[in-house]
Structure 1
Amino acid sequence: MRTARTLLALPGLAALAWGVVLFAEYALPLRPDVFGTVGWIIGGPIVNDAVIAPLTALLGFAVARLLPPRWRTPVIAGTVTTATLATLAVPLLWRPYGTPPMPGLHDTNPVPALALTLATVWLAVALTALRPRVDPPITSDAPPITRDVPPITRDTRPGTPADPPGTPTDPRGTPADPPGIPADRPGP
């Protein structure tokens, strides 16, 4: 397990180190715009953890109390997706050209693009909640599982008593006879 964790952590640490190298190339020598970037790097997680995540959680709790069960999971997933997309869209909505230019990115207005994406998310939420639910058929072959009834296995049939202790079908390690009774004579 320790080896697996180490192997999973190594690529993440390598990516983190590469990010530090790239940021150092960008930030050094210090310029005024570097401080704005540091503000976004530090402020983004703080705003997310202090504002966006708690509001999303509160909305999720409210939804779980108010909506019928079949709508709960899709609406909570849609709410979390909406919060994530809105967080990612903040740099583009905050000011024009809020991110480094990428081909095709600044050819459109980000507000309608975000609205169209959120409309698609909520359409998927509605379709998921409204789809017909398919439950497996209930069969009367087996009795209900309860704690006071021994489980039915391949070797037993419904309505027959369970084998007494010590029979060949018992797993290894079960006592053949109750303690204190010798195996060669019957019990009292």
Structure 2
Amino acid sequence: MTITGVDSRYLEAISGAGPGSGRLRFLHGGTGSPVVLLHTVRTQAEHFQGLIPLLLADHSVFALDLPGMGYSDIEPGASYEEPAMRSAVIRLIEQLDLQNVTLIGESMGAVLALTAAVSVPDRVRRVIAVNAYDYAGESQDPVLSLGSSCRASSRPGWARRSQGSNPGPSCGRSCAEGSSTSPA
């Protein structure tokens, strides 16, 4: 499948570096403010084939194949739990030195967008989380718990209020300060 104006690129594997360090494939195209697209389970970057062309005129688009999916490496013995997947998202953002990023995720990708934003708030401008997947059980990971709290605080008024603002880091600040609702 080919998407006009987009090419396939790779972040090479980092030997012995831990979770999310395998070879990662991503699609890239466009110029402007960076948008990182995060797909759901058992799909790949082309999951966003209808959205990518709409973004290319105004944005530099990075659609990541999450570890073990699409054309990214399947690492023997690797974890595919949320913290390991989040590490791959953060690796993409940091290794490409992306700033003022908009993270857009669907289902599992939505959770990764939320938790990555909490992990690197200085690099994330906004998050669009669509149909966020709710990891089962209580998490011992404080970042995943914080992402879940922020997801739970998202209400219809939050989206309207946040347009043009900075919901990623402010969500992290609100949740870290103990607020269970979106800022007024």
Q: Which bin holds the TM-score, normalised by the shorter protein?
A: under 0.3
TM-score, with structure 2 as normaliser: 0.25
Structure (1 or 2) with the greater helix fraction: 1
Structure number with higher strand proportion: 2
Larger radius of gyration: 1
Q: More relative contact order in 1 or in 2 (CA 8 Å, sep 6+)?
A: 2
